[in-house]
Homo-oligomer: A and B are copies of this chain.
């Protein structure tokens, strides 16, 4: 899918190819890729941003929005300084080896998807593996496409880097300089740990929100008024159900085993809560909720000692 139109876009003859700055290529110009190059454009004004996208209208839109400077093709990757691969994770499996085939010796390629084992495996034996760095910037919104790109999306966010030892030192440095300039903090992790943990803190949240939306929509079929009653709490909990199925289906596919495991645990916890309610064990219900309340402090990243002091003062 991603490849069908890859060769349709040529740099316009009038385009100043002789610019002095870095040549940044973004393949797949949506929320993440688009936001990355918006940041790069503002941080490194000399850089030229080239876009490659299987969706012709995305390219036009990205140019019109000023997200990229020009459309491009795989043939131009030999001159790239950076290649950002930000396509759905299933497409990444075929796009990445093609990118590595096409780049130059000094090009650093990074991919930004939400699964890491399949991505790392797909390029594990590629002769240019050392030109690749596997990343997962934990940032995003529920929107997609070029118009979803925003500046500053990565400020203060975590970027998980996997198998860093398999990237050449010089190119690691080049990528890390950019990530740090964007304001990201770096965490190193092996792909297996990444995929396991991200199932809990990201993939499960999406399914939780999608199925909450489904449960309420099913009800609403017969009761049109119900959404007049929905407040900001529902909106917040269901927000991720606006996410793109084209992006999320391959993520669930690639991380199937872990996601199934987290779902089993989630369903088991929900069932247990339901049983407490059926049995009218309100003390246990209170305690369940109270013990989860500490998510406040966890999300605030507070240390246990700070928490204790806070609790006393409340």
Contacts and interface: CB of A to CB of B under 8 A. Distances in A.
**Interface of A, helix, strand, loop or mixed by DSSP:** helix
Interface residues of A, number: 95
Interface stretch (A3-11, A96-104, A168-176, A262-270): A262-270
A275 to B, nearest CB: 9
A262 to B, nearest CB: 7
A116 B260 CA distance: 38
A288 interface: yes
Nearest to A90: B282
A289 B227 contact: no
A215 B200 contact: yes
A245 interface: yes
A285 B218 contact: no
A235 B22 CA distance: 36
A274 to B, nearest CB: 4
A197 B226 contact: yes
A202 to B, nearest CB: 6
B260 A237 contact: no
A286 interface: yes
